Amino acid sequence: MIHESARLFSTSPYLTLGTRVKEVLPGGCKIADVLLFDPAEEELVTVPDKTVPKELMDEEMVGASHGWGVFCARHDRSVRISDLYNPLASKSNPTMITLPRLTALSSNYCNVAMTSSPHLEDCVVAIKFVGDHLSLCRPGRDLEWTNILTPPSCLENSNLMYSKRDQKFYLPAPGGKYLFSYHLHSKEEDFPEVQEVVYRGHPELDQSEWELLSSCTRTEHLVESPFSDERFLVKWYAHGFYSSVLERIDHITKRFMVFREEETTQGSIMCYTEDIGDMCIFLANSEAFCVPASSCTGLKPNSIYHMGRGLGFYDLTTGNPHQYLAPDGVPTLSYWLPPFST
């Protein structure tokens, strides 16, 4: 499918790599270089001399959505949303939006999803925790988070996404057999809607390849294109091995399988495809998103860019994975940011 409405962005999608402190100012703020990775040019991008507010000094980045980073304080679990990693945002005065302290029992995060940019009045922020907790908050309106218990043992490590088309938050169940969804005004006691996923088609692989995939870890990601009504369910296969350098189990990406949602008289069906056209899908610990390759010079169409289980991209046309040479000091938890425009 050709997306004629796609326009050229001012930047590529970027991967966050952290900051490099250069100076500590009176009052606790710091001057730092913001470090990003550009997958289109395969190079490090440095945004020099950004002011890092003192409020972010003790906070860890726990997610990203719509180009905004979500940070949580280690000492009191207060939450802030900031455009610190936006290369086109103010260097001297980054935007910060404060949210209430988290009250969910878990402190291990899966990912964050937002309905829109947080300065918009109708924005809802959702945080999925490892385990059975999901928390919702409306910036500037809610005084506390709404903590929802998801069905036990169903969605412990599921990846959260927001569907603009349906105005719901979705969580794929392990294996991708079911989609659980919550509407924007869900309460603590609400049970999610459950949709069984019907699949059609699969790749033509020999027995040894299927056996290899059966030994891999697998995660499921639902992603929706903002440029069309297309929705994809992506299955990400990674092979685990012991790394003597890291002294732990590491993973490397082996394959992606993509299923495009199609409407039929019997309802929606996820149909296997190796052709998503001009589209690129970006997967990491951030909310998954799509970008037309033609809107960003250097992106490869019909590809999946990923961080986690290796840094690279997967060409759906050839079925070949390509690994980038990871920049020195790349953090384990990094986040893709969609392209920005002036």
- Amino acid 8: pLDDT: 66
pLDDT digits (tens, 9 = 90+) for 166-213: 999 999 999 999 999 999 999 998 999 999 999 999 999 999 999 999
Examine the pLDDT at 332 and tell me if it is beyond 80.
no
Examine the pLDDT at 298 and tell me if it is beyond 90.
yes
Examine the pLDDT at 327 and tell me if it is beyond 80.
no
For the chain, the residue count is 342
Question: Domain of 101?
Answer: 14-337
- Amino acid 290: pLDDT: 96
In a domain, 222, yes or no: yes
**By percentage, how much of the chain surpasses pLDDT 90?**
77
- Amino acid 228: pLDDT: 82
At residue 58 the predicted structure's pLDDT band, cuts being 50, 70 and 90, is confident
In a domain, 211, yes or no: yes
Q: What are phi and psi of 248, to 5 degrees?
A: -165, 175
Strand order in the sheet with 43-52: 43-52, 30-38, 14-24, 336-337
- Amino acid 2: pLDDT: 33
- Amino acid 240: pLDDT: 84
**By percentage, how much of the chain surpasses pLDDT 70?**
97
At residue 64 the predicted structure's pLDDT band, cuts being 50, 70 and 90, is very high
Cα gap 131→64, rounded to integer Å: 20
Cα dist from 143 to 64, 99, 168, 190, 324, whole Å: 22, 8, 22, 20, 43
**SS3 state at 173:** coil
Q: Which residue has the higher pLDDT, 15 or 310?
A: 15
In a domain, 92, yes or no: yes
Examine the pLDDT at 1 and tell me if it is beyond 60.
no
Examine the pLDDT at 164 and tell me if it is beyond 60.
yes
What letter represents residue 173's amino acid?
A
Examine the pLDDT at 222 and tell me if it is beyond 60.
yes
Q: Which residue has the higher pLDDT, 8 or 19?
A: 19
| Domain CATH number, residue 180 | 2.120.10
Cα gap 33→21, rounded to integer Å: 6
- Amino acid 246: pLDDT: 66
At residue 241 the predicted structure's pLDDT band, cuts being 50, 70 and 90, is confident
At residue 6 the predicted structure's pLDDT band, cuts being 50, 70 and 90, is very low
In a domain, 3, yes or no: no
**Mean pLDDT, range 278-289, rounded to an integer:** 95
In a domain, 258, yes or no: yes
- Amino acid 326: pLDDT: 74
| N- to C-terminal Cα separation, the chain | 27
In a domain, 2, yes or no: no
Total tally of structural domains belonging to the chain = 1
In a domain, 312, yes or no: yes
Contacts of 327 (CB under 8 A, 6+ apart): 17, 35, 37, 44
In a domain, 230, yes or no: yes
